[in-house]
Chains A and B, each alone.
Chain A
Amino acid sequence: MTTTIVLQQAINGIVLGSLYVLVALGLTLIYGVLVQINFAHADFVTLGAFAAYFFMHLVGLGYIPSIAVALIVGAAMGWLINASIFTPLRRKNNELLPLIATIGVSVMMQNLMLAWFGPIPYAFETEFSRHVIRFAGIFVSWQNVIIIVVSALTIALLYVFMKFTFLGKALRAVSQDRETAGLMGINPNFLIMLTFVIASALAGMGGAMLAPVLVLTPFAGTSVIVKAFAIVIIGGFGNVEGTILAGLIVGLIESYTTQFLNPGLIDIVVFALLLLMLAIRPTGLISERREENV
């Protein structure tokens, strides 16, 4: 009985963790390349969820195509916020200003969505939500299977992109040394834009994947973003592998805290882990450290 529960909670945790990874990866990518935090990232998630909802309900092509639509909507938002906020502020070379600006954008987006979509939660039902696989006391809904599969595929695709394509390598180069990347013939501005688009596309897609899980209101993304920040730090800012690992860990913490402690304590446990991480390994789970040159 207990092993079943532990196993079941592991599955629950991994499902949730893979969703967090999708959201946190975007934050990490942006941080890696720009050393900036985008607070509006959460609202891209929400927007992606709504895009998927309305596409499903107005166009009626089913859930899977709606994920693609959410991805595109997220990408477009990423492009927009990069062009309107980060590009003009990059010249000011200040780490605070873009952060505050994105808080402003976040307030604006949330309330615009509130005006358009209203506060009453949308029931996001997909054709997979109600089908449950049961095996030896373990249950998984098809929706969750899709979440795991799509997340794993996305992460794999992203990995292939970063590892094996020229653009992906260029992107990593830009995050390590923007100036030298320029010497290679790489246009850093283009790649920063690309990073934003990819990160936001992930957020949008994350939204579509989260939509059946989330309580879908204009404030839905906010509930995820604080944890996403924790994941990004636990994984090490700008570190993709660390973020994936940390995302899964936080997902597991959430399910095991629920099982053995109390769901009210989830945030305390997650952020205690965060502070512990910062105390013992300030650069994250998988460390990349450089000496300061004086």
Chain B
Amino acid sequence: MTRTLRTLCTSVAAIGLLTIGAVAQAQDKTIKIGALFPMSGPGSYFGTQDKQGVELALEQINQTGVNGYKFAVHYEDSACSPLPATQAAKRLIEQFKPDVIIGEECSDATLAVMPIVEQAKVPLLNAGSSSIKITQPGNPWTFRIMPNEVMQGINLAENAYRRMNARRAVLLFENTNAGIGNAQVFKENFTRLGGKVLAEIGFGRDVNDFTAIATRVAGLGEVDVIPTYTLEGQGLKITQALAQAGVTKGGGGNAIQIGTIWLPFGFEQKAGKAALGYIRIVQFDPTDARPVARNFVSAFKAKYNTEPTHLNAHAYDQIMLIADVVKRGGKDPETIREGLAATKNYSGVTGSVEFDKNNQNVKMDTIHYMETKPDMSWVSLKWN
């Protein structure tokens, strides 16, 4: 029985190795990119969109290749959770032997994967996790092109206090690593400046009806800003509920929702009138006039027949940055790591990239502020 099982496992493993090996050896000079995306469960919200961006980028760079290199991507489902992410990362490293890895979205998963890539000496390029721990202390093999929670939080708090003259805030956040982390940074900085946080309302991802929360916010009296940290789905419900309760501008109130880069472009259209006045940081602005952004938007629309989101854009940028590193001489994990670290003023769809000593992108042009107008269009606030 046991022997049969072992044989079975071995043969299954062998088949797995063969298939992956076949893909890997199809081309001689290939940069192998491993992608750790959540593709099952609720986290597949990220994975599906990430994959679109990656596919578009691959299509573009593989037309000509870079320095004679083609690019191959192998996806593993890391499920937005530490253990599955660890398993996926190890499988990726063992069997696909990537030159560089991109992903995860969820901070827990990214943090769990970091020691593994460090041990395997494969660079990890992250664009979706905001936890400060990823780059502080971080490790030499992990890079992040997205502004972390502290960068966003400080910036948001200062702008809320100084430019919006907000003094009273209510924090709404999902009870996740990212939700709590972002809310805490905002709170610290906002109160440091002299603002007051009237309530911190955290909720699980399984909360559906936000009328009760909106009612509670409405009962708190005058509120100036409502920093909101949720994903698209719950975000829509919150915005509508706050408007219904007459709290926010969209519902005839005075409060303004503000937030970080979590929400996709098109959120306002989905939310409708309720989103009026919403001010948020976006990393990807589809109205961006730079050619790189223009090309991306049109290519994306052509391929998928839909507007790209920031997730699409981030994934696209990750691949394109790797291509840029390869162009600058990267050809294996070590040289790609060095290349990434040496990146100066790389201009991507979501802004420019330059890493500090902790491998955190420090370019502040990745933080744009947008305000939602009555016709649901965006206006850029140029607050940086």
Residues of A in contact with B (beta carbons under 8 Å apart): 1-2, 5, 8-9, 12-13, 15-16, 111, 114, 118-121, 123, 125, 129-130, 132, 134, 139, 141, 144, 210, 213-217, 219-220, 222-224, 226, 254-255, 258-259, 262-264, 266-267
**Cβ-based interface call for B28 (8 A):** no
B33-49 contact mask (Cβ, 8 Å, vs A): 1 or 0: 00000001111110111
How far apart are the CA atoms of A219 and B270 in the complex, in Å?
Answer: 20
Other-chain residue from A12, A118, A123, A262 in contact with B236 (beta carbon distance below 8 A): A123
Q: Which residues of B contact A217 (CB under 8 A)?
A: 42, 45, 233
- Please determine whether B232 and A258 come into contact, CB atoms closer than 8 angstroms: no
**Cβ-based interface call for B208 (8 A):** yes
- Please determine whether A258 and B208 come into contact, CB atoms closer than 8 angstroms: no
- Please determine whether B240 and A119 come into contact, CB atoms closer than 8 angstroms: no
Instruction: Give, as a whole number of angstroms, the nearest-CB distance from B103 to chain A.
Output: 16
List 16 interface pairs A-B (beta carbons < 8 Å), by A numbering. Answer: A9-B216, A12-B211, A12-B212, A13-B212, A111-B40, A119-B43, A130-B272, A219-B42, A223-B205, A223-B206, A255-B212, A258-B201, A259-B215, A263-B202, A264-B203, A266-B204
Q: Which residues of A contact B203 (CB under 8 A)?
A: 263-264
How far apart are the CA atoms of A220 and B40 in the complex, in Å?
Answer: 14
Instruction: Give, as a whole number of angstroms, the nearest-CB distance from B60 to chain A.
Output: 24
Q: Which residues of B contact A16 (CB under 8 A)?
A: 209, 211-212
Q: Which residues of B contact A264 (CB under 8 A)?
A: 175, 202-204
Instruction: Give, as a whole number of angstroms, the nearest-CB distance from A13 to chain B.
Output: 7
Interface size class of chain B, counting residues whose CB lies under 8 Å from the partner chain: 35 or more
Task: Return the 6 tightest CB-CB contacts between A and B, nearest first.
Answer: A215-B233, A121-B233, A223-B206, A263-B203, A258-B212, A255-B212
- Please determine whether B208 and A210 come into contact, CB atoms closer than 8 angstroms: yes
Instruction: Give, as a whole number of angstroms, the nearest-CB distance from B16 to chain A.
Output: 21
Other-chain residue from A120, A125, A130, A141 in contact with B48 (beta carbon distance below 8 A): A120
Of chain A, the residue at the smallest CB distance from B230 is: A215
Besides A114-B40, A216-B233, A258-B201, 6 other CB < 8 A contacts?
Answer: A2-B219, A119-B43, A123-B271, A210-B208, A223-B208, A264-B175
**Cβ-based interface call for B314 (8 A):** no
B7-44 contact mask (Cβ, 8 Å, vs A): 1 or 0: 00000000000000000000000000000000011111
**Cβ-based interface call for B343 (8 A):** no
Q: Which residues of B contact A216 (CB under 8 A)?
A: 233
Other-chain residue from A12, A15, A120, A134 in contact with B49 (beta carbon distance below 8 A): A120
Interface positions of B from 189 to 229, Cβ below 8 Å from A: 201-209, 211-213, 215-216, 218-219
Instruction: Give, as a whole number of angstroms, the nearest-CB distance from B149 to chain A.
Output: 19
Other-chain residue from B43, B45, B209, B212 in contact with A121 (beta carbon distance below 8 A): B45
How far apart are the CA atoms of A1 and B221 in the complex, in Å?
Answer: 10
**Cβ-based interface call for B93 (8 A):** no
How far apart are the CA atoms of A224 and B41 in the complex, in Å?
Answer: 16
How far apart are the CA atoms of A266 and B43 in the complex, in Å?
Answer: 23
- Please determine whether A213 and B219 come into contact, CB atoms closer than 8 angstroms: no
Q: Which residues of B contact A15 (CB under 8 A)?
A: 209, 211
Contact A266 B202, CB 8 Å, known A119-B48, A215-B233, A259-B219 = no
- Please determine whether A224 and B208 come into contact, CB atoms closer than 8 angstroms: yes
How far apart are the CA atoms of A97 and B204 in the complex, in Å?
Answer: 31
- Please determine whether A121 and B208 come into contact, CB atoms closer than 8 angstroms: no
Q: Give the interface centre of A9, A121, A267 by most chain B CB atoms within 10 Å.
A: A121
Instruction: Give, as a whole number of angstroms, the nearest-CB distance from A127 to chain B.
Output: 13
**Cβ-based interface call for B234 (8 A):** yes
Of chain B, the residue at the smallest CB distance from A259 is: B216
Interface positions of B from 45 to 86, Cβ below 8 Å from A: 45, 47-49
Q: Which residues of B contact A262 (CB under 8 A)?
A: 201-202
Q: Give the interface centre of A13, A210, A255, A258 by most chain B CB atoms within 10 Å.
A: A258
How far apart are the CA atoms of A116 and B311 in the complex, in Å?
Answer: 21
Instruction: Give, as a whole number of angstroms, the nearest-CB distance from A192 to chain B.
Output: 31
Instruction: Give, as a whole number of angstroms, the nearest-CB distance from B324 to chain A.
Output: 29
Q: Which residues of B contact A8 (CB under 8 A)?
A: 215
How far apart are the CA atoms of A13 and B216 in the complex, in Å?
Answer: 13
Instruction: Give, as a whole number of angstroms, the nearest-CB distance from B377 to chain A.
Output: 18
- Please determine whether B244 and A132 come into contact, CB atoms closer than 8 angstroms: yes
Instruction: Give, as a whole number of angstroms, the nearest-CB distance from A71 to chain B.
Output: 20
Instruction: Give, as a whole number of angstroms, the nearest-CB distance from A206 to chain B.
Output: 12
Q: Which residues of B contact A267 (CB under 8 A)?
A: 204
Interface positions of B from 253 to 285, Cβ below 8 Å from A: 270-274
**Cβ-based interface call for B308 (8 A):** no
Other-chain residue from A1, A132, A258 in contact with B213 (beta carbon distance below 8 A): A258
- Please determine whether B219 and A1 come into contact, CB atoms closer than 8 angstroms: yes
**Cβ-based interface call for B237 (8 A):** yes
How far apart are the CA atoms of A41 and B237 in the complex, in Å?
Answer: 24
How far apart are the CA atoms of A42 and B153 in the complex, in Å?
Answer: 37
- Please determine whether B44 and A119 come into contact, CB atoms closer than 8 angstroms: yes
**Cβ-based interface call for B245 (8 A):** yes
- Please determine whether B212 and A9 come into contact, CB atoms closer than 8 angstroms: yes
How far apart are the CA atoms of A123 and B267 in the complex, in Å?
Answer: 10
Of chain A, the residue at the smallest CB distance from B44 is: A119
How far apart are the CA atoms of A214 and B237 in the complex, in Å?
Answer: 8
Instruction: Give, as a whole number of angstroms, the nearest-CB distance from B81 to chain A.
Output: 14
Contact A215 B209, CB 8 Å, known A1-B219, A5-B219 = no
Instruction: Give, as a whole number of angstroms, the nearest-CB distance from B29 to chain A.
Output: 35
Instruction: Give, as a whole number of angstroms, the nearest-CB distance from B199 to chain A.
Output: 9
